[in-house]
Each structure stands twice: as C-alpha cells, then as structure tokens.
A and B are shown apart, each in its own frame.
Chain A
Amino acid sequence: MTTISLKVEFSGGLELLFSNQRSHAVTIPSTDPATSKPTDLQNLIFYLRDNLLKERVELFVETDTVRPGILVLVNDTDWELEGEGDYVLKDNDEIVFISTLHGG
C-alpha cells in the first residue's frame, strides 16, 4: 500500500483538542480503501477525527466537513481556492487548521 506524508498543524485553540500539540506528522494511504479514489482533504479530516482527536469531536467536525469558523489552509493557501474537501492530497503537503472561535 502506498502512502503519503503530510505535515498537519492546529492553532487558534484547536491544538487543545489534539493533545495540546500544534504540529503533527501524518502518514495516510494514498487511496481511500473504501472508494479506491485518491485520498482527498475530506478523507484527511475523517482520519484526523478518528485517529488524532482526543476530545470533543463536535468542536472539530460537523456532518462531513470541519465546523464553521475553522479556517483550513493548503500549503498556505485558503482551501476555498483549492476545492475544499475535494482537494487531492500530495506527498509533503502542509495542511493548517485554525480556529477563529476563540478569544479576541
């Protein structure tokens, strides 16, 4: 099974849900075993929810995407310009999740 390696970062308070650790090295299969399609950002969100998230899932995921108020960046670009959950992940991509819901 081929895999891809990603750098995943959480900030803006979101790191508290992930062992209070901001930066994580993540290795996931390059294709989704259920659909045999290339792994996309939505697969990654589910993977993070099922494998890395330590508490309070509702603060990270809502139905099939991140909770409103969480910004996602793909290699420093707003994921809204990259197709959001449909973005197909590449080896060495850097994905950043930032909560905007915490303190001013």
Chain B
Amino acid sequence: MAPRTCALCESAKAMLKRPKTGQQICRDCFFYVFETEVHNTIVQSKLFQPGDRVAIGASGGKDSTVLACVMKTLNDRYNYGLDLFLLSIDEGITGYRDDSLETVKRNQQQYEMPLKILSYDELYGWTMDAIVSQVGRKNNCTFCGVFRRQALDRGAAMLHVDHIVTGHNADDIAETVLMNIMRGDIARLGRCTAICTQGEDTIRRSKPFKYAYEKEIVMYAYFKKLDYFSTECIYSPDAYRGHARVFLKELEAARPSAIIDIIHSGEAFEVREEVKATQRVQQTCIRCGYMSSNDLCKACTLLEGLERGMASAGITDRGRKQLESQGPAPDNLRTIPFFKLPLGNPTIAIESTS
C-alpha cells in the first residue's frame, strides 16, 4: 500500500486515522488538532479565568500525564494566565501507587509545576494496604473512592487552588453514561456528562478531555514519548466498569462515533428537577466540616467503622445500626482534620524540585 499523504497539510506522510472523523493525518498536524480541540473545549465552556490557580489531578497514568503536558502547552500558547499545580493522592498501595508517583515526580520536573502529594495515611491514618488487611477485597473500592474524592478536595484546599482538572476522557464519560443507565441511577446520569461540576462550596472540577478519544490520548503520549504508568490497581479492579469498558470498545470497533454518540445521548436526557434536588449537598459534616448530605460525611462514617473495628458501618444500614448500638463514638476516636476552604495564601509545603 502506497503511503498516504496527510489530509490537512497535504505534504507529510499520514500516520494516524482519527477515530472521530476517519481523517488521515500526520504527526505534527495531529498534535495541532488535538491540542486545538482541547483549547476549543476550554474556551467554549469558559472553564478558566486569568489568574486562576488550577491543580491537575495527577495519577501518573496516561490521561493525567497527557493532560499535564497539554495544559502546560495551552497555558503558554494562549496566555491563559493560569498557575498550574500537580496534585497526587497517595492511597498507600505498595507496588502500585509508589511506582506511579515516581512518574508524577518526573512530570513535576519536565513541566516545572509544583507538586503536592497527599496521602491517605496522613489524612485518615490508614493506607489502602491497611484497609484491605482489615476489610478484605470486597468493599475496599468503596473506601478508596470516598477517601480519594475528599482527599483531592483537601489537597486542593491546601494548595489554595480554585479548580481541579482531571484526565477523564470521552471513553470514560461514555462508559459512565452506560453504567448509570444500567444501574438506573438517573440523578447521576443527569450530572455525569457535565464538563464542570461545582457544589455549594466545593472546589470546581472539570474535564478538559471530555471530547478527547482515548485512542488519541494514547497516540499523543506515544508520539511525544511521554512516560506514564499503566499497571492496573492490585486491589480488585472495578468489575462492572470493566464490562462496560469492553462493551464500549466493541461498539467503537464497529462504529467509531459510538463514543461521542453515547455522550450526546447522556446530555440529551432531561432529568426532572425533583430527581436532581435529591442529590444536592445540603450541609457540612459535624465532625470534619466537609460537604455532606447527613450529619456525618461518608469518609467520617467509613473511618469510624475502621477505627472501631466494624468496617461495614459505612457500607450497609445494618452495619450502621450495629455501630450505633455499641454506643457513641469514643472521645479519643481518630478523626479527619477540620475542612476549611482556602482563603489567602497557601501556607503548606509542596514537594521541592530536586
């Protein structure tokens, strides 16, 4: 087969077929169109204001590694005027997170961005290794998900950033749409396609890669020779998501536009106001000050269960009742430091570039 010429510059050899359009383009045109599309997403959704302090949620995986590279490129090229930071959560998983954090530390040097690493151990007094040794491998992902979400907000507050950006890509969002449909979780279905979410007083979170295909993110990393970490978490991968992912990849193989089509379907659902209302954040946790829909936030409930040796307290109603029947929490119970939103200048130490 004779080499084909790039459909855009009409001079260089085409090296990639774009999944969204079928267009055949060269390496340099690919970098340019990929970055420009992310820029257009950012501008059209008005994600940032000049002077914003923005943390990139960095796991060392492909999406956040490419996101850090693209955010730096666009901030320089279009003068966004953003202060960029890397924020990593160390769940305390030996042989998994400790290795991927090495990738993040290299990113810190390559992109000259300050890095903050916040560990579960520091915040909750428990590593995931310790949690798994107590609760086993059944509900450990619940702990990890709840703890990570809160840790990201707390890390962002420590950095005094206004905004967290994450590497969620079009494939991830399409997958989440499918999962919410299959679970009948209509309130989440209504929110999961939003490019930017903000609770009453939480830090903004957004997804600049909302329309970026995974294939292109991986090709971008490959062509730019970005190094990223790609080992699956050693503690039980999310099996349900795994099935949704494989199903989606099969759909994509048959018709590449499937991913964007599913996102559009998710966006097109009109969720009734009363369904949305049940999901709103109403109050703050009486123990730690974090946003919560009950007296105690999820993380405090899970932590109390761990500390009192009744890990199911934060997972099932029965577990919760059992814990309550054992009396109130002891005074010396380990708790999460009180959450305050940032005001003024940051006072915490960030990792030094050395």
Chain A residues within CB distance 8 Å of chain B? 11-13, 16, 67-69, 71, 73, 76-78, 80-83, 87, 96, 98-104
Contact = CB atoms under 8 A, between A and B. Distances in A.
A81 B24 contact: yes
Nearest to A76: B15
Contact of B214 (A16, A78, A81, A100): A100
A81 B252 CA distance: 17
Contact of B14 (A12, A81, A98, A101): A81
A77 B13 contact: yes
Interface stretch (B55-63, B68-76, B197-205): B55-63
Interface residues of B, number: 35
Nearest to B19: A80
B235 interface: no
Given A13-B232, A81-B17, A100 B218 contact: yes
Interface string B243-254: 001100110110
B109 interface: no
Given A78-B16, A83-B1, A98 B222 contact: yes
A104 B231 contact: no
Contact of A77 (B15, B59, B171, B250): B15
Contacts of B171: 100
B160 interface: no
A73 B222 contact: yes
B4 A12 contact: no
A103 B65 CA distance: 12
Nearest to B250: A68
Contacts of A96: 222
B167 interface: yes
A99 B215 CA distance: 10
B104 to A, nearest CB: 13
A7 to B, nearest CB: 15
Given A16-B231, A81-B15, A104 B61 contact: yes
A68 B249 contact: yes
Main secondary structure of the interface of A (DSSP, over half): loop
Contact of A71 (B167, B172, B215, B252): B215
Contacts of A16: 231
A103 B218 contact: no
Interface in B221-258: 222-223, 229-233, 245-246, 249-250, 252-253
B168 interface: yes
Nearest to B169: A104
B64 interface: yes
B35 to A, nearest CB: 18
16 contacts: A12-B62, A12-B218, A13-B232, A68-B249, A68-B253, A69-B245, A76-B15, A77-B14, A78-B219, A81-B4, A81-B24, A99-B230, A100-B214, A100-B218, A101-B249, A103-B231
A82 B64 CA distance: 30
B218 A71 contact: yes
Contacts of B233: 103
A78 B27 CA distance: 11
Contacts of B215: 71, 100
A104 B64 CA distance: 7
A16 B95 CA distance: 14
Contacts of B64: 104
Contacts of A104: 59, 61-64, 167-169, 172
Nearest to B252: A68
Given A82-B1, A103-B62, A12 B230 contact: yes
Contacts of A67: 249
A68 B215 CA distance: 11
Contacts of B250: 68
B196 to A, nearest CB: 18
A93 B173 CA distance: 36
B17 A78 contact: yes
Most chain B CB within a 10 A radius of its CB, from A16, A87, A102: A102
Nearest to B30: A78
A16 B62 CA distance: 17
Most chain A CB within a 10 A radius of its CB, from B63, B169, B233, B249: B249
Contact of A101 (B16, B59, B229, B245): B245
